[in-house]
Amino acid sequence: MPKTRDTPQRRAIAAVLERAEGPLSVHDILQRAQREVPRLGIATVYRVLAELRRARAVVSVEVAGHPVCYEATRRAHHHHFHCRRCRTLYDVGGCVAELASLLPRGFQLEDHEIVLRGLCARCAPLSPAAPSGG
Amino acid sequence: MPKTRDTPQRRAIAAVLERAEGPLSVHDILQRAQREVPRLGIATVYRVLAELRRARAVVSVEVAGHPVCYEATRRAHHHHFHCRRCRTLYDVGGCVAELASLLPRGFQLEDHEIVLRGLCARCAPLSPAAPSGG
DNA sequence: GTTGCTGCAAAAAGTTTGCAGGACG
DNA sequence: CGTCCTGCAAACTTTTTGCAGCAAC
């Protein structure tokens, strides 16, 4: 484990992830962190994210039809809801218990991820059709 | 909905997906389908996949740390297990019931996806460490 | 002062698109 | 025989890497 230096770039990126109200794309992270460090480059964002992920401080969230997103681990265990109409990715709290029972004999469950899909409270009252090609 | 023609390429790709024992990457699909249609190009694979997805005949499976994979819809409802050691993506049958209870008021649940992570039966008896960076 | 970190730009990987010719119906 | 589909190659998007200079410690 090499020592990591404390730099403005790293602090800005970490702060953005702490403040985030939900998963952020790499582009989001870059733009928000650039408010603090204007010359921040995309390569640094990727490098810091890879490091934070290695340190288990962030996890990536990959949902079909969405750019890869990142989220700080310190936030309580939760899952995601993807609205098929407005495409927003929501955090949802809580979890389900009997996941381990799905596994065949011999498999060890260490972690899991649940993505729910449908219409969010804002979109459900409107037409049930997607806005564009899907 | 425009009419779709019956071509060897499309038949080969569909057959590969039908035969698959689990999710396949675009590269996997290309290689397997080329056994039947050697001159098949990657662009055709992408085009056919996009079409099949539009027709709800296949779904994409996106798991962090894995290339995007595709899977025929006709297979019974199931979820996935990703072994952190050998990186294999397994299908697991069954499902859990109380997912809808996770949602805030007003959200409509239409679909869901569960990814379990850990060690598969083959890797669990071995060291609990990952083979390489991860 | 040493060494790791950063920004830039180029490279690599993954996906989409334009086009001319061929195959399906 | 018209039209859609295909393969090829180029364009695009996303992510990684090389390098010289700067900053952290």
Residues 6+ apart with CB under 8 A from A62: A68, A69, B62, B63, B64
The total of structural domains in chain B comes to 1
Q: How far apart are CA B126 and CA B30, in angstroms?
A: 33
Q: Where are the beta strands (DSSP E) in B2-133?
A: 24-25, 58-61, 69-72, 79-83, 89-92, 108-119
Best residue of B79, B95, B112 to probe chain A, by most A CBs closer than 10 Å: B112
Closest CA to B17 of B70, B88, B90, B82: B70
Q: Is residue B134 a part of any domain in this protein?
A: no
- Are the beta carbons of A116 and B108 separated by less than 8 Å? no
Cα angle A36-A42-A46, degrees, rounded to a multiple of 5: 105
Q: How far apart are CA B132 and CA B112, in angstroms?
A: 31
Tokens read off for A33: 């962190």
* CA dihedral angle for residue A87, residue B71, residue A113, residue B129, rounded to 10 degrees: -140
On the question of pLDDT at B120 being above 70, the answer is: yes
Half-sphere exposure of B22 (CA within 13 A, CB side): 11
Q: Is residue B126 a part of any domain in this protein?
A: no
User: Which whole number is the average pLDDT over B107-118?
Assistant: 93
Residues (pLDDT < 70) of chain A are: 1-2, 127-134
Residues of B in Cβ contact (< 8 Å) with A105: 121
A98 near B CB under 8 A: yes
| The pLDDT of residue B133 | 37
User: Which whole number is the average pLDDT over B57-78?
Assistant: 90
Range of the domain at B112: 8-121
User: Which whole number is the average pLDDT over B104-110?
Assistant: 93
Q: Is residue B60 a part of any domain in this protein?
A: yes
User: Which whole number is the average pLDDT over B44-53?
Assistant: 97
| The pLDDT of residue B129 | 53
DSSP B68: -
A14 near B CB under 8 A: no
Residues of A in Cβ contact (< 8 Å) with B58: none
Q: Is residue B88 a part of any domain in this protein?
A: yes
On the question of pLDDT at B130 being above 60, the answer is: no
Cite residues whose beta carbon is less than 7 Å from strand C: A 2-5, 7, 9-10, 37, 39-44, 47-48; B 5-8, 26-27, 42-43, 46-47, 50, 67-68
What band does B132 get if pLDDT is binned at 50, 70 and 90?
A: very low
* CA dihedral angle for residue B47, residue B52, residue B54, residue B57, rounded to 10 degrees: -170
DSSP A100: G
A79 near B CB under 8 A: yes
Q: Is B16 helix (H, G, I), strand (E, B) or coil?
A: helix
CATH for B102: 1.10.10.10
Q: Is residue B3 a part of any domain in this protein?
A: no
pLDDT tens-digit map of A72-107: 998 778 999 999 888 888 899 888 888 889 999 999
Q: Is residue B27 a part of any domain in this protein?
A: yes
Q: Is residue A68 a part of any domain in this protein?
A: yes
Distance, CA of B43 to C1' of D12, in Å: 14
| The pLDDT of residue B77 | 84
| The pLDDT of residue B134 | 32
| The pLDDT of residue A69 | 95
What band does B75 get if pLDDT is binned at 50, 70 and 90?
A: confident
DSSP B101: G
On the question of pLDDT at B108 being above 90, the answer is: yes
| The pLDDT of residue B84 | 87
| The pLDDT of residue B2 | 62
- Are the beta carbons of B92 and A101 separated by less than 8 Å? no
| The pLDDT of residue B98 | 83
For chain B, the average pLDDT equals 89
Closest CA to A17 of A54, A65, A70, A66: A70
User: Which whole number is the average pLDDT over B34-43?
Assistant: 97
Tokens read off for A11: 């602090």
Over pLDDT 90: what percentage of chain B?
68
Q: How far apart are CA A94 and CA B96, in angstroms?
A: 14
CB B118 within 8 A of CB B88: no
